[in-house]
Every structure is written in C-alpha cells, then in structure tokens.
Amino acid sequence: MNIKHLLITCLLSITTLFAVAQTNAAADPNTDRGYIVKTGDIAPADFELVLTDGTKTSLKQLHGKVVILQFTASWCSVCREEMPHLEKEIWQAYKDKGLVLIGVDRDEPLEKVKGFHQVMNISYPLALDPGADIFGRFANKKSGVTRNVVIDRDGKIVYLTRLYDKQEFASMLKAVDALVNEKTASIN
C-alpha cells in the first residue's frame, strides 16, 4: 500500500509541475509560442504581399509606417473572434495616422479569401500567403494562426501576440497607440 501511495503522490507531483510549467510558459511573453522571431528583431522583409485586389506591397515599401501583420485564415474561429476588434479598435482608429494593418491569410485561394473578407465585414486589406511562406518567416509552419506582428517605423518587431486574449490585445493596443503617436514611454 505504501508503494502505491508513493507512486500516486509522485504522479500527482509530476502532473502538477508540468501544469505549472505550461501555465508559466503561456503567461510569459518571452516564450516563443511558435514564433521564430522575437521582439527587438528586424522583421523579415524578403517577401511581397499580394492583396486580394491584386495590389502588391512589401515591408520595404511600408518602411516608415507602423505595420501590423495579422496572420489569419477563414477556418480559424479565434481569428474570426479577433478580427472585429482589429477592425474597430486598431484599423478604424489609426489607419489615417500612419498605421498599416494587413491580414495575411494562410494558404487559401483568392476566392475563398475574398469571401472571408466580405463575411467578416472588415475594411482592412487581406493578402494571400500561398504555402504559408510569409507565415513561415515569422513562425514555425506547424504552429497556428491568430497572431499579430507589430512592426515599428524602422522595421523592428515590437509586439507579438498569439491567439485572442483580451488582456494581451489591450496591451498590444497600448503599444500601437504609443508607436503611432510616437510616444517614447515604454510600450510594454
């Protein structure tokens, strides 16, 4: 009976330690969460964004603006939850103040992305990402979408999000406001 009790206690302890480690990793903004870039890095800029209307742009062309790349997909329910907030609280609030927000749709065909754009009733542009090649410059291709990469006017990554968390979104919003309004205070 003592050995059985000892084994159960050990298993419970190991399970608890594992759960605490996962919780701490999820709460720690310095964990990669599937990203291969980190805040402070210069954003990869060796790609072209093709928007659903055929317009092409790149991070090189957008240098000097605050840029948010929102990695998304039509099948992603969390993306769908976050997109109205991006539209209202970021795009509508800052689009005339030097901010560019582009949804980068992961590996879906043009017609599907156009339909997604319409159904979501957003006005910020969506870009195509065949083969998730753009996504793969920022995150491991095996990791999921619903992530935002905030890039400052100099091309440096200043904020990374994963999934839609109201507290993290509010913190990102403060960072965006500081960047757009060129506040020198900490944006963390």
In-domain check, residue 101: yes
Number of independent structural domains in the chain: 1
SS3 126: strand
Confidence of residue 6 (pLDDT cuts 50, 70, 90): low
In this structure, is residue 55 part of a structural domain? yes
**58 in a domain, yes or no?**
yes
120 is a domain residue:
yes
In a domain, 108, yes or no: yes
Q: How far apart are CA 88 and CA 71, in angstroms?
A: 17
User: Quick check: is 133 in a domain?
Assistant: yes
The band of 16, judged by pLDDT with boundaries at 50, 70 and 90, is very low
> For residue 101, what are the domain limits?
41-156
Q: Is residue 33 part of a domain?
A: no
| Residue 5: predicted pLDDT | 62
Separation of first and last alpha carbons in the chain: 52
CATH number of the domain enclosing 106: 3.40.30.10
Q: What is the pLDDT of residue 1?
A: 58
Asked if residue 28 is part of any domain, the answer here is no
pLDDT tens per residue, range 37-53? 999 999 999 999 999 99
Question: Taking residues 7-15, what's their average pLDDT?
Answer: 52
pTM comes to 0.81
